[in-house]
Structure 1
Amino acid sequence: MKRLFIAIGFFLGSCSQSDNEFRQTDNSLTSYIENKTFETGAVIACAGNDIENLDLVEVYFFPESNSENYRLFQTNSSNVNPNDLSNYNLVNLDSEPFFNGYLRKFVGSFSSEKWMIVSFEKDGDIKLSNPIRIKHIEQPTLFSTEIIINQENSQMPIFSWDINSVENNAIFFQVLSTTNDDLISGTYTFENQFQYYNTSNVVLNITNGIPPDLISGQTYKFTVMDVSEDNWVNQLLIIQFVLE
């Protein structure tokens, strides 16, 4: 699949003593990874505007099991080489739960557009996301509820949606959840369609185990992120529906 925002469980975490010491002494990404084993493109992450406050940017990521020390790094502007890690410095933000902790996100206000990288530590190694292009000024995230649901097979509803911009789209991330944001399934497709739970067109699956049968008469929520190759969320689509 394209190396986009590959760029999404979100476990509760806090800064360790070593993390706080790092923030107080040197905030560069290159200093953080110096003499350590690190892997690029190893964190699924992307970013988009906050749906309730367009002045805020949310950087979403999927921390693997047993990961810790979640960090966000940024460049000074967007006019730099995003693959040069020496351009990145630590953002003094803590991550917070998203979809009740299955995912996590950093939320902040940024006066200019730039590149960002999410990192976490696992088994003594540092994992880095691919660069994420923040476009909250020139290309704010669009929000929509225009999702078509085919419930001819109630246990396997089919969700489809229009592509806002074929040029900007690289992949779609879909989440089926309860109305309380408990994640039921999380999948990626190149197609603008997903059927629960048919993985024939799924290119990446972050669902934990086998998803449960859906319950007739219960209300669910379906969320889609239309993501660009540089890991910006072009459009966020959300709809609630009652399973027939």
Structure 2
Amino acid sequence: MLYIVATPIGNLEDITLRAIRVLKEVDVILCEDTRVTKRLLERHEIEIKSRKAPPSAGQRGRQLITYNEQRSGASIKKVIRLLEEGKDVALVSDAGTPIISDPGARLIQEVREIGAKIVAIPGANAAIAALSISGLPASDFLFLGFLPHKKGRETLFKEIAASKRTVVFYESPHRILKTLQSLDKNLMASRKIVIARELTKIYEEVISGNSKEVLDYFEKNPKKIKGEFVVMIEGV
């Protein structure tokens, strides 16, 4: 069985009891960065096997494997083999719900083809958490994940400007100023923008205003251009 397990987006206490139980019961945990996942597992006393110990050591715990569809790590074929051997496998991301703006869709497709059961273990998601405290209409919204770095970027900003629905996307600290400049160029002054950064962490912050006001805030506070950003834009 393959479990898709949501993990905290910042605060390590934001994980469900069911997720903890599943992570304690599976044979293998697939993760993006073993260092990040180890911190979560240690916080909740979930044992893992040491990679250095010989099989004869009879260790308790589950195996932790790096999984990445684009780079080195566990391949899809290896995961399929584990499932066919009867192993229970959990897929986690560094933060939030796997597959959402993260690799994993190809794995899901391949696992479905062999008829193995896939179970979602729901939990934290940065976009939903941010929307819940934004004050923007959230019954109908458009989620764009991470915007493209170059190709089609400006066209996308024009589409965002014309959207009647609340638009939500993620942005990195390296591009947030450039993104806000593009929004300022394309949006009417009456459109409200809400940015949530460092959600659930010590320095969590929510900034709202029109595009110019939000851009001015970050230009005057460059030390706050760090961490993860969720950008939300009011519909027309």
Fold match by TM threshold 0.5: no
- Larger radius of gyration, structure 1 or 2? 2
More helix by share: 2
More strand by share: 1
The TM-score with structure 1 as length reference comes to: 0.25
The TM-score with structure 2 as length reference comes to: 0.26
